[in-house]
Amino acid sequence: MYMFNNIKKIAIIGNSGFAKEISYSFQKNMFDFFVNKEYLTKGDYKTKAIEDLDFDKYKILLGIGDPILRKKIVDNFPKNAEYMTYIDKNAIILDKETVKIGKGTVICAGAILTTNINIGDFGQINLNSTIGHDCNLGKFLTMSPGVHISGNTNIGDLNYYGTNTALKNNIDIVDNVIVGMNSNVIKNINESGVYVGNPLKKIR
């Protein structure tokens, strides 16, 4: 669990269910939600406009599942913005010496990371997901709840995996891939696009 350092509060970007799930790990005085001004609703609890975000007073925690939208937000924020990496107290990292986690990454409760793993910046490893040994995972990865990545797997940037997707060991996947829920990935994906099913098929 992230420990409040009495210097900066946490700005949770987004106010969706996922952002609210993350917020329950923090005391109420530790964070505020931020959304675009047009999405502000009267009575939103602790929600402010991103346009009013003071980057000198907040650390940034990205509570948005869409990897493309996360990248747009990061690209539009100041270069000196400070991002926090969040690891839930109920996540398990078996080999802390060889598991490398990029800045701004969120690892949720029940996730298990084994050994010799590199996770790029701004990833999201959701509830009860697992990552096997010797994996290299790119920036802006989204693993929905219950995604399982087997060992010796290499994944590019801006990948999204739907709930209960499973990836076989010893495969390589390019950038900009979306895989729908309950799909099985059993061979390399060499073209960007949207894939679903078992057997897996590209649909666009």
Q: How many domains does the chain have?
A: 2
Q: What integer pLDDT is reported at residue 43 of this predicted model?
A: 63
Written as six digits, the tokens of 190 are: 């060499």
Which domain CATH number covers 70?
Answer: 3.40.50.20
Residues 72 and 91 reside in one and the same domain:
no
Residues 71 and 98 reside in one and the same domain:
no
Residues 112 and 180 reside in one and the same domain:
yes
Residues 14 and 96 reside in one and the same domain:
no
Residues 58 and 117 reside in one and the same domain:
no
Residue where a domain terminates, one of 54, 76, 98: 76
Residues 69 and 135 reside in one and the same domain:
no
Distances (CA, A) of 196 to 78, 109, 134, 203: 36, 26, 25, 7
Residues 38 and 121 reside in one and the same domain:
no
Closest C-alpha to 40, from 31, 52, 28, 29: 52
Q: What number of other Cβ atoms are within 10 A of residue 190's Cβ?
A: 9
Alpha helices in the chain, H assignment, sequence order: 17-23, 67-76
Question: What pLDDT, in 10s, does the model give residues 31-72?
Answer: 999 999 888 876 666 899 999 999 999 999 999 999 999 999
Q: What is the pLDDT along the chain (204 residues), one digit of tens a residue?
A: 444 444 689 999 998 889 999 999 899 889 999 999 888 876 666 899 999 999 999 999 999 999 999 999 999 999 999 999 999 999 999 999 999 999 999 999 999 999 999 999 999 999 999 999 999 999 999 999 999 999 999 999 999 999 999 999 999 999 999 999 999 999 999 999 999 999 999 997
Residues 60 and 110 reside in one and the same domain:
no
Give the predicted TM-score (pTM) of the model.
0.92
Q: What integer pLDDT is reported at residue 42 of this predicted model?
A: 67
Which domain CATH number covers 146?
Answer: 2.160.10.10
Integer Rg of the chain from CA: 17
Residues 17 and 108 reside in one and the same domain:
no
**Residue 137: CB partners within 8 Å, gap ≥ 6?**
117, 118, 119, 120, 123, 131, 149, 153, 154, 155, 159
* Residue 86, amino acid: Y
Q: What integer pLDDT is reported at residue 40 of this predicted model?
A: 83
Quick one: DSSP state of residue 169?
Answer: S
Domain that holds residue 162: 86-202
Written as six digits, the tokens of 117 are: 């793993």
